[in-house]
Each structure stands twice: as structure tokens, then as C-alpha cells.
Chain A
Amino acid sequence: MALRRIRSPMDPETAASLAVGDTVLVSGRIVTGRDQVHRYLASGGESPLDLTGMVLYHCGPIVVGDAGSHRVVAAGPTTSMREEPYQADVIARFKPGAVMGKGGMGERTSKALVEHGIPYLHATGGAAVYLASCIERVEGVYLEEFGRPEAMWVLCVRDLPALVTMDGKGASLHRHILDRSASMLKRVLESTLTPPRT
């Protein structure tokens, strides 16, 4: 468990070296993509930019202003699990350096992360203004026809904090918490309430 400063796009060695429990500060160019982008990319669509080594961020930001003066007001992560049906294919086709979102992902994505030696980064859900304050500027936007929250925003970020919760070795903090809470729930439910007064 270490604090690591990483740059996006990142090289395969850096991606592979990140392990569950590492706190990272992401700088460089990252790109957003959520439901529509994932569906599009997984079903044969071409990416309007090279995603190799990039941090692909599950995020539908609030952006104000027009081209040239875009400003991101709020940019927290969205629930990654919705991209589960597409993520493995997107990773295989476009070779991003990491996937970032919230809530973790399923077994199929976990397998893809192992195959390509890349991590899943967990950003704090709802901390939208704090995370937006780590965005230095908007470099560009693609696929805006999907609607602003669903478009691909290329963002230049500095020291955006996240936690590695799934890694290229197959470890998953989410799986661990799920298993532990399942056995705790079982224990809690062994006892029953004393019935209320009648």
C-alpha cells in the first residue's frame, strides 16, 4: 500500500505495478466515457482518439460554456457496474492504461484487467467539486451527439486522488468486502427481533 503519482497515458509497466490498496494521484490526459460511449465502442464503433494507456473515467460531468471555453463544474465518478457488459471488450480493443469509476466491476472485467495487466481505480463518488478542482482544463470533446453527460471529454488533470481497488493480478477489494459483509450478514440474521408489544 503506497502513495503513487501516475501519469496518463501510462506505460504498461506502471499499469501492471499498481496493486489493490495503493493510493494514486492521477495527472495528465484522461478521457471520460459512460454508458453510451461504452456501448458504442463495444459494438464496433471507432474511438475518435487513441485510448492506448489512457485512464478511461466513468463520469458524466457537468460542463458549462462552449467549445474553447468549456469548464467542468462537477465531475465525480458514476457507477462502473453499468459498463460491465462492455468493459472487457473495450479494454481488449482499445488498450487503456486503467479504468476509473466507482463501486467496482464484475468478474468479466476482472479477467480482462488480468489479461491486459491494468488496474481499476476507485474515485470518491459524489465528491464532484473536489474532483473537478483537479481538472486543469478541457482539451476537447468527442461524440457530443450522445448528450453532454454521455460525451467523451478529454480532460487534463493534476493529482486527482483515487484508490486501486482491482488490479492486474486479479485481486479485488470489492470482492473482499462483499464476501466479508455476506458472512457478517449471515451472523446478524442468526438472531431475530424480540416481538413488539401487542
Chain B
Amino acid sequence: MDSSKLGRSMYELMMRTSTELPEDVTCALEKAREREPVHSTAANTLDIILKSAELSRANRLPICQDTGVPFAVVRAPQAVDTAEITRALVSALKTLTIEGVLRQNCVDPVNGSNSGDNTGPHVPQVHYEPSEGPIRVDFMLKGGGSENVSTQYSLPCDELRAGRDLEGVRRCVLDAVFKAQGRGCAPGFISVCIGGDRASGYLVAKKGLFRKLGEANPDVDLARLESVITEEANMLGIGPMGLGGNTTLLGCALNAAGRHPASFFVTVSYSCWATRRYSVELDETGGVARWL
């Protein structure tokens, strides 16, 4: 791979993620806007949101001042030098932080100091998955507010009357949406891992946010439950930013992971309206072959 080409690709991937609201998200927000009465708080809020996102795109400025936690998933054949990709990601991260496209978001949890360049122990998170190729990089910036309202349930849960079945999953997810209120910057997109262990649950749920809004789940039972949850969550009336309205969720993605017989976790990853993620396919030289 040509390291300067690879560097440019990673830079462009991160730049776009921070500054251009993905098309599926913009579409979903525009549809939400149509569902709100004219001059309502919800309509005004969505107007400001759409206007702000448009300004970001036009001026290549970060959509939100919280440019989140950088998260990358790289799928590449075994022969690819993954360390080279990590170096390119880290270098792009540092450059974009200096340029003000990413905020200095990595704080030492022990002494409270900010590293100033968005790197630190276990930061950034880069996950590798072997594949047949071509090289694919998924990149996400997920804000702290939405991460704070993400949560995990262990079923059965007496308080929610949630058993170890899809009905139990439904009850947990609606509870998570209710508890988040507007604090995750509604209307949000939630991705859920049903099953797995405590660690894989959060990872699978977060990766599920790469699915595009409106893309159907191939599993018919899960697809059905996704629309039930979205519809019911929107009946809660929490609305944009939690100020009331008809759209609380833009969508819901359910993912299944094998579970231990003793465990049944439901893990909810909440993404704010500013869901920022892009995927690219690279050619052999490290250049962008196409945006996915």
C-alpha cells in the first residue's frame, strides 16, 4: 500500500464522518420533520437540527462539538499489514484534532489530564476482522451523551416483567428509550444486541449502528420487532431533544449473538440524531475504491 494514499483515505473518511450527516439519517430527520405540526417545538427543533447539519456540510465543520469517541472496524485479508492501517488512522485523528474537525476528547481517568490529540490507552478503538477482501473500513464518531444513556439488561428482569424472549427484549428496549428521555439527543437510532456476553453485547450493538436506517433486517421476526419497537417508542411523546413530539426514535436495529445458557443479556446502544458513520472500500494502493 502507498502510505500517503492510505493516509489521505483515512483523513477523508474521518473528515466526512465528522462533517457530513449521512444521507439515510438526513432523510429520516426530514421525514420526522413532516410528522410534526408547523411551529411546534418539535418542528422548530428539527428545523434547527437540519439547518445546522447543512451548515456543517457546506463549510466542512463538525456537526456536533462533541465529536465523540473514534471507533473503527477494519475488514482485511490476512496478508494486509494491519499495523499500517492503524498508523494511518491515528495520524489522521491527530491531524483532524489540530484542525478543529475533532475535539480533544481523550481524558486520563486517573489524573484528569487531556491528552490533547485524541489518543490514549485503548484509544482509538480499532477492531480487525479477517475477510477475503477487499479492505473495508467502517468508521464511527459516537458522542458521550448518547453513550451515557446506552445500557445493558440481564434477563429475567423482575422490575420490567421481562422474561427471556422477544417480549422481554421489547420491554427492555422501550425502558431504555424512556429512561434516556432527551438526554441522548433524540430522535435517536438504537441498535440492540440480543444475547452475547457482557463485552460482546456492547460491541455487537455498537457495530449494528453501521446498518443504514431503512435497511430491512433479513430475519423476519427481528424485522417485525424492530418496527413494533420504533412505533411504540414514538408513542411515548418524548420527541426531538426530549421537548415533546411524535418522533423519539428514527429507527431500531436488532442483532442476535449466541448466549451462554445461564445468561440472557439485552444491550442497547443509543445513537443521537447526529449518527455519524461512514464505510469505505480501499483499493490495493490504499486509495478509496468506493464509499459504501
Which residues in A have some Cβ–Cβ distance to B below 8 Å?
Answer: 23, 36, 59-64, 73-76, 78-79, 81, 102-104, 122, 124-133, 147-150, 161, 163, 165, 173-174, 177-178, 180-182, 184-185, 188-189, 192-193, 195-197
Task: Give 7 CB contacts A-B under 8 Å.
Answer: A60-B66, A102-B241, A147-B116, A161-B48, A177-B182, A177-B238, A188-B232
- Which parts of B236-250 form the interface with A (CB within 8 Å)? 236-239, 241-244
Q: A74-B64, A76-B66 are in contact. Are A122 and B181 (CB under 8 A)?
A: no
Q: Are A193 and B49 in contact (CB under 8 A)?
A: no
Q: Are B170 and A193 in contact (CB under 8 A)?
A: yes
Q: Are B235 and A193 in contact (CB under 8 A)?
A: no
Q: Are A177 and B148 in contact (CB under 8 A)?
A: no
Q: Which residue of A lies closest to B103 (CB)?
A: A62
Q: A102-B241, A104-B242 are in contact. Are A181 and B228 (CB under 8 A)?
A: no
Interface size on B, residues (CB 8 A): 61
Give, as a whole number of angstroms, the nearest-CB distance from A138 to chain B. Answer: 13
User: Which 7 A-B residue pairings sit nearest by Cβ, starting from the closest?
Assistant: A130-B52, A147-B114, A127-B52, A74-B65, A64-B100, A196-B221, A125-B185
Total contacts A to B, CB within 8 angstroms? 165
Complex partner residue of B114 from A81, A102, A127, A148, CB under 8 angstroms = A148
Q: Are A62 and B62 in contact (CB under 8 A)?
A: yes
Q: Are A126 and B64 in contact (CB under 8 A)?
A: yes
Q: Are A128 and B241 in contact (CB under 8 A)?
A: no
- Contact residues in B for A149 (Cβ distance below 8 Å): 65, 103-105, 114
CA distance A55 to B167 in the complex (A): 46
Chain A at the B interface: SS class: mixed
Complex partner residue of B45 from A124, A128, A193, CB under 8 angstroms = A124
CA distance A147 to B118 in the complex (A): 12
Q: Are B235 and A184 in contact (CB under 8 A)?
A: yes
- Contact residues in B for A126 (Cβ distance below 8 Å): 49, 52, 63-64, 143, 185, 272-274
Q: Are B62 and A188 in contact (CB under 8 A)?
A: no
Complex partner residue of A60 from B65, B148, B181, CB under 8 angstroms = B65
CA distance A36 to B51 in the complex (A): 31
Q: Are B41 and A163 in contact (CB under 8 A)?
A: yes
CA distance A11 to B181 in the complex (A): 32
Q: A79-B183, A163-B41 are in contact. Are A181 and B178 (CB under 8 A)?
A: yes
Give, as a whole number of angstroms, the nearest-CB distance from A195 to chain B. Answer: 8
